[in-house]
Structure 1
Amino acid sequence: MAQPAPAVPQNTTAPLTPTQTPYFENGMAVLLNTWPALSMAVENEFGGPDSADKRDWMCGAVADLFSSEPATDAEDLESFLLDILSDEFETTLEDDSAYIVSQRILLLRRQIASDDFTGANALSEFWNKNGRDKPKVKVVRQGGIDDEDEEEEGGEGEGEGDVDMDEAPQLVAVKERVEKVVDEDGFELVQKKRR
């Protein structure tokens, strides 16, 4: 028998309290760290040698987005995540995993806004058990790094769905190699870069 969906408060666009914020930031960071598309981009250094630092910065950017625009919806968050993947990791997705991650982040935020920390605690437990080589989840804000490993890390909490996504999506590098074109006199013609 399926469990009923958790009750979602009517006003989920209000800023989170100082008590709720760390739960949200930690859980959101776990969801991003367990997103196969982002993990693959970091492991393969699509964002260069500092790809892991860019992922940490991305977590902080998402936290800042919700601080400045608490009414952010799934489509806006998906667009934000896709822009970062494209700009920082030169990666585009051929699946809808960014939207799924966005929905999970918003569900987590709604739960925490209603003082329901079960999803956040389940994420924390999951991360502690399965974080392997990642002992801490970081949220990098403009002022520096906040280590966030106490309360939030992945797993399946009530209404969380599958946090440990099994199959990594296909990634397509945005940069394409431009073939040289040589004219009949042996001069290379300048080609316009394609995106």
Structure 2
Amino acid sequence: MATTAPEQLPPAAERQTNFEQAVAYALHLWPALTLSVQNQWGGPDSADKRDWFAGAIVELFPEFTDAAPGQSTRPNAQEPDLEDVETVLLQVMLDEFEVNVDDDSAVEVAQQIIRARAQGALGQTDELSTLRERFMNRKGTKVEGLFKQVEDTNQDTDWESDDSGDEDEDDEDGGADVAMEDAPAPSKKAEPEVDEDGFTKVTRKR
């Protein structure tokens, strides 16, 4: 099997850029983070936080260098492993977006990043190409309903608006029936008094 000689590797700057793009794509494709940004669970600057998030993940890894292009292909004290990346992903989601991701999606994102890192060290871009294609093909794909903030007090969400009108109508009808049953019976209007001459007596309300 032929191996890529060091002199045949793309420049370190190009490999670094490819890795950074792969991290950005991986985070943009993460349903938990996408929904958090859409609902601004991280505040009005949630989109900027996602960009910062990508930079923070990239900074976990040492930059590629032309002097030792293959150094980052093997785990060492400087290279975070899968568990390290997953831990940071979960911690940032909790700290910055107040979201507790309790599924395995963070592991999947961490795996994508680790693969992109290992391939980048060899001058390969298979993972980057896969993530880019998924990102381009996801236009129009909704993530609402796939993930929800743990303590979400805002009930005016997109995934509830589709059939909320019908439910409101049902609630209004049903609520009215319940209210009528529980409400005290209205007082009856007093019958008018008619005197011997056939005139109706007028009484003033106190």
What TM-score results when the alignment is normalised by the length of structure 1? 0.58
- May I ask how many residue pairs the two structures share in their alignment? 131
Q: Is the 8 A contact 1:32 1:38 kept in 2?
A: yes
Once the two structures are superposed, the pairs formed by residues 32-51 of structure 1 within 5 Å of their partners are 32-51=27-46
Match of 2:119 in 1: 111
> Residue type matched to 1:72 in 2?
P
Match of 2:17 among 9, 16, 22: 22
Q: Is this contact kept in 2: 1:23–1:117, CA < 8 A?
A: yes
1:122 aligns to what SS in structure 2? helix
Task: Indicate whether 1:94 and 2:102 are aligned.
Answer: yes
Question: Can you list the C-alpha shifts for 1:65-95, whole angstroms capped at 9, x where unaligned?
Answer: 1137741011111111111111110110121
Q: Please list, as runs of the form range in 1=range in 2, the aligned pairs for 1:42-81 lying within 5 A after superposition.
A: 42-67=37-62, 70-81=78-89
> 1 CA distance for matches of 2:24 and 2:35?
16
The one-letter code of the counterpart of 1:60 is G
Bigger CA radius of gyration: 2
> Whole-Å Cα distance in 1 between the matches of residues 116 and 139 of structure 2?
19
Which structure shows the higher strand fraction? 1
Change (3 A) 1:66 1:167: farther
Q: How far off its partner does 1:107 sit?
A: 1.0
State TM-score, norm by structure 2: 0.55
Identity %: 37
* In structure 1, C-alpha distance between the alignment counterparts of 2:25 and 2:87, rounded to whole Å: 19
Instruction: Give the drift of 1:166.
Output: 10
Q: Distance in 2 between matches of 1:129 and 1:65?
A: 29
The 8 Å contact of residues 91 and 174 in structure 1, kept in 2 or not, is answered as no
Q: Return the alpha-carbon distance in structure 1 between the equivalents of residues 130 and 101 of structure 2.
A: 28
Residue-by-residue CA offset, 1:68-126 (whole Å, 9 max, x unaligned): 77410111111111111111101101212111111111011111211111221233344
Q: Which ranges of structure 1 fall in alignment gaps of 5 or more residues?
A: 1-8, 10-15, 133-163, 176-195
Q: Which amino acid aligns with 2:91?
A: D
Which of the numbers 78, 82, 87 marks the counterpart of 2:90?
82
For residue 41 of structure 1, report the CA deviation from its aligned partner. 0.7
**Does the 8 Å CA contact 2:31/2:143 hold for their aligned counterparts?**
yes
RMSD over aligned Cα, in angstroms? Answer: 3.1
Moved over 4 A (4+): 164-167
Out of 123-132 and 85-94, give the one that drifted further: 123-132
Unpaired runs of at least 5, structure 2: 5-10, 64-76, 154-206
Contact 2:27 2:54 in 1 (8 A): yes
